[in-house]
Amino acid sequence: MNELEGRLDGKGLKFAIVVSRFNDLITERLLQGALSVLRRAGVEEQNILVVRVPGAFEIPLAAQRFAEAGNCDAVICLGALIRGETPHFDYIATEVTRGIGEVALKYNLPVSYGVITADTVEQAMDRSGLKQGNKGSEAALTAVEMATLVRRVSTEKK
Ligand code: INI
């Protein structure tokens, strides 16, 4: 039996982090979580590019530009949507989620989803490093694992 899985070793891999400024109290925490994981995984500073966009709705387009350019091994998407602040919450959440998934499949590129959808600011804080982990760290871990997996799959002998 042969088994294949990714590794948490990011040496030599390039990552783009797309982070939205809306709710930046939360998204900055997600960004710090993601950066800390990438550094611990051995990713070199010059191989990390942070790109800021206005809101979560803009994340998929920025992710798509990086995917198209083909110069990174994974894109990490970070944002925070908080219900109550907008009647558009559900529309935006649906579009962002669909858009991120589409970019990954269209470009065969790991694009990880670190977008918090929460009912309250408190919930969002909990998921960005307080009581319930940090969605930014989780998205970065997934990106490293998937980037190494995709590499291994493409170099695997047929
Ligand atoms: N963008 C967010 O990232 N989070 C939100 O909670 C949010 N709310 O509440 O409206 C939000 N709106 C802005 C949206 O993402 C776009 O930037 C805007 O509609 C312009 O396209």
At 157, is the pLDDT very low, low, confident or very high (cuts 50, 70, 90)? low
Domain span including residue 129 = 15-150
5-9, 28-32, 150-154 — which one is most confidently predicted on average? 28-32
What's the pTM value of the predicted model, to 2 decimals? 0.96
22, 96, 117, 121: which to mutate for ligand 1, most atoms within 8 A of CB?
22
Task: Give pLDDT, residue 34.
Answer: 98
Give distance in angstroms: CA of 72 to centre of ligand 1.
26
Query: Which pLDDT tens digit goes with each residue over 18-27?
Result: 999 999 999 9
Mean pLDDT of 47-71: 97
pLDDT at 5 exceeding the cut of 60: yes
Ligand 1 atom with the shortest distance to the CA of 92: 15
Tell me the DSSP string of 55-74: SGGGHHHHHHHHHHHT--SE
The domain tally of the chain equals 1
Query: Which pLDDT tens digit goes with each residue over 101-117?
Result: 999 999 999 999 999 99
**68 found inside a domain:** yes
Does any ligand 1 atom lie closer than 6 A to the CB of residue 82?
A: yes
**157 found inside a domain:** no
The helix or strand, by DSSP H or E, that contains position 18, with its residue range, turns out to be strand 15-20
Ligand 1 atom with the shortest distance to the CA of 23: 4
Task: Give pLDDT, residue 14.
Answer: 98
**126 found inside a domain:** yes
Residue 103 CB contacts under 8 Å (≥ 6 apart), including other chains: 60, 63, 64, 67, 75, 109, 111
